[in-house]
Chain A
Amino acid sequence: MRKWILWALVMVIVFLSLGPFLWFVDTSFKTEVEVTAIPPVICPSGSVGFYVSSIKNYRLLSYVKNSAIVATLTTLITILLSLFAGYSVARLGLPKRELFMKALLVVSMFPQISIAGPVWRILYRLGWLNTYQGLVIPYVTLTLPLGVWVVASFFKQLPEDLEDAAIIDGCSRLGALFRIMVPLSAPGVFTAAILVFIYAWNEFFFALLIMTRQDVQTLPVGIAMFQGQYTLPWGEIAAASTVATVPLVLLVFVFQRRIISGLSAGAIKG
């Protein structure tokens, strides 16, 4: 009996979180006629017409390219900086470390809107509005607390003897970091990287604020712009949303095992 309730709950949760996703994937393969049909058509005819149309008429590939560039750059820079910062934090004495970690947490909780104005002004002065770095730098700022937090908590768990051993074996400090500490924290680094990538890929607010020219806009903003003053190209939006979502799903599936071990923070005890 209890098992049934549990199952029912699981189904509800799965349906609620997966439902919208399945709906727009479904929709994206419909034809123009099927989209507006009442009652709704459940089984689409498998047309790729909306995909073709969203590429041809709505510059979908340009958005994908921009998103890929911005998200990749953000991830690389954030993770690299997180490795250095996380290493320093992990090697701090305890009271200082706790203070720093708490400060990071506080900073990461500032609402985005509170820094939007200053960020826009700075970028405006630098002439970096509508540039990749103009978006990547704020993203790095916003994702860095998460990255440092995850990486530091992984490094903290590694015995210092390992690093000392590497240094005696002839590594420099940087060498020990990249040859010993980073490989051993791979689950954590991957987890952080994927979370950062997803954030940058999905982010809407700053993207809208900073990227006003269509040729540099990212997917979330681009898709929102599909909607014209008098038109709602429902099928194209569904197709573009599918294109936006599938890479993330694949990413998570490919690294699933690493992420799970990452979220249950590294039991690396040899």
Chain B
Amino acid sequence: MNMEALEVVGIKKSFGRVRVLDDISFKAGEGEFVVMLGPSGCGKTTMLRIIAGLEVQDEGYIYIGGKEVTNLNPKLRDVAMVFQSYALYPHMTVYENMAFPLKMRKLNREEIKQKVRQTAELLRIDDLLDRKPRELSGGQRQRVAIGRAIVRSPKVFLFDEPLSNLDAQLRASMRVELRRLHEKIGSTSIYVTHDQIEAMTLADKIILLENGVIQQIGTPEEIYKKPANLFVATFVGTPMINLLDGTLILKDGVPLFKSGEFEIALPSFKEYFALDGKPVVLGIRPEAVTIGKGPYRATVRQIEHLGSEKIIYLELKGKDLVAKTHGPAETDRAVCFDFNEDGLHLFYGRERIERIEEG
């Protein structure tokens, strides 16, 4: 007996000859906030629609609350969805919008009234109940859309890029509020976004998708600190991780990364001796470049100030290197710097080579 709130097993889906989802499997525990992250067009919306029952998969199974729902219609799945476009019913007031799913489930009028009031208070939209959607701001519409989803306490919430139509400031505050809301009502949520910041701040668990294939499943920390491959490493983290093409060389049994004239001794990676002389890619997180002192020297080409931190564009023996740091720097001057080993990642082919102490 399977008691995960949601389990997706081996979902495949093609539109015509284009494979949009390839063998997607994952689980969401009771009350877990799962974020499906990936670039636009990677199949996130399609996956949500399959979970909701709006789209039919070619292969695979869906379980909700331990019950197979693979072939059930949306009504019987007990999921609620918040659409990117909000999809509020324009001809109904806020109250009627929120009451609609309850009415469809044949609750009596008193119950409906009470639930809508309660939800509206929770979302602080109780003074908007008589308005039509067109009389609301973007942020208010967003709240109503969320309200319509939570008012009937479904087993699983589905969010399809709910914040992408809001301006940056509102998005940041809604993000905080969504997290607060989630902690309050403790509902299982599948949240789709292409915005890594949303994913990192909201998720208990991130599922990273590229071209319909899962690249990695993990906590935000795992995704950031142990990216499974080059795609994950480049997709998560701002500024983007630095990538240097080079060769791995063993020198007196110590692994050395060599790229042109640049050389750096590496920490112990698993089975690095097998990579001797092989072409590898070294990923360096901008946060891992520490400016001020160290054995390496580079020229500062440009500085961007981000308030407390700065982004420094360095030229290192003809290669570009981006650093994010508090350290002192001036344009067109040479600086010394070092690397924090935690931010170094070694890739062979596409895959990341694990470090020994990671176990």
B134 lies within 8 A of chain A by Cβ: yes
Q: How far is the CB of B194 from chain A (nearest CB, A)?
A: 18
B305 lies within 8 A of chain A by Cβ: no
- Residue of A with least CB distance to B141: A270
One of B76-84, B216-224, B242-250, B335-343 at the interface: B76-84
A172 lies within 8 A of chain B by Cβ: yes
Q: Are B83 and A270 in contact (CB under 8 A)?
A: no
Q: A164-B54, A164-B83, A270-B134 are in contact. Are A171 and B104 (CB under 8 A)?
A: yes
B87 lies within 8 A of chain A by Cβ: yes
Would you list which residues of chain A between 157 and 198 have a CB under 8 Å from chain B?
159, 161-162, 164-172, 175, 180, 183-184
**In-complex Cβ contact of A168 among B80, B84, B89, B141 (8 A):** B80
**Interface SS, A side:** helix
Would you list which residues of chain B between 76 and 102 have a CB under 8 Å from chain A?
79-81, 83-85, 87-91, 100-101
- Residue of B with least CB distance to A162: B87
B43 lies within 8 A of chain A by Cβ: no
Residues on A with C-beta less than 8 A from B104 are: 169-171, 175
Q: Are B101 and A170 in contact (CB under 8 A)?
A: yes
Residues on A with C-beta less than 8 A from B133 are: 270
Q: Are A170 and B87 in contact (CB under 8 A)?
A: no
Q: Are A159 and B87 in contact (CB under 8 A)?
A: yes
A126 lies within 8 A of chain B by Cβ: no
Which of B73, B83, B87 is the most central at the interface, judged by chain A CB atoms within 10 Å of its CB?
B87
Q: Are A165 and B74 in contact (CB under 8 A)?
A: no
- A-B pair count, CB < 8 Å, reads 57
Query: Interface size (B, Cβ < 8 Å)?
Result: 26
Q: Are B89 and A170 in contact (CB under 8 A)?
A: no
Which size bracket describes the interface of A in this complex?
10 to 19
Q: Are B75 and A165 in contact (CB under 8 A)?
A: no
Question: When chains A and B are docked, how far (Å) is the Cα of A169 from the Cα of B80?
Answer: 7
- Residue of A with least CB distance to B49: A164
Q: How far is the CB of A155 from chain B (nearest CB, A)?
A: 14
Q: Are A167 and B74 in contact (CB under 8 A)?
A: yes
- Residue of B with least CB distance to A170: B104
| 22 A-B residue pairings within 8 Å (CB atoms) | A161-B84, A161-B85, A162-B87, A164-B52, A164-B81, A164-B83, A165-B81, A165-B83, A165-B87, A165-B148, A166-B100, A167-B74, A167-B75, A168-B52, A169-B104, A170-B75, A170-B101, A172-B75, A175-B104, A270-B88, A270-B132, A270-B141
In the A-B complex, the 7 residue pairs with the smallest Cβ-Cβ separation, listed nearest first, are A170-B104, A169-B101, A161-B87, A270-B90, A165-B87, A270-B133, A161-B83
- For the A-B complex with A169-B104, A170-B104 known, give 14 more contacts whose Cβ atoms are closer than 8 Å: A159-B87, A161-B83, A161-B87, A162-B87, A162-B89, A165-B83, A166-B89, A167-B74, A168-B52, A169-B80, A184-B91, A268-B90, A270-B133, A270-B134
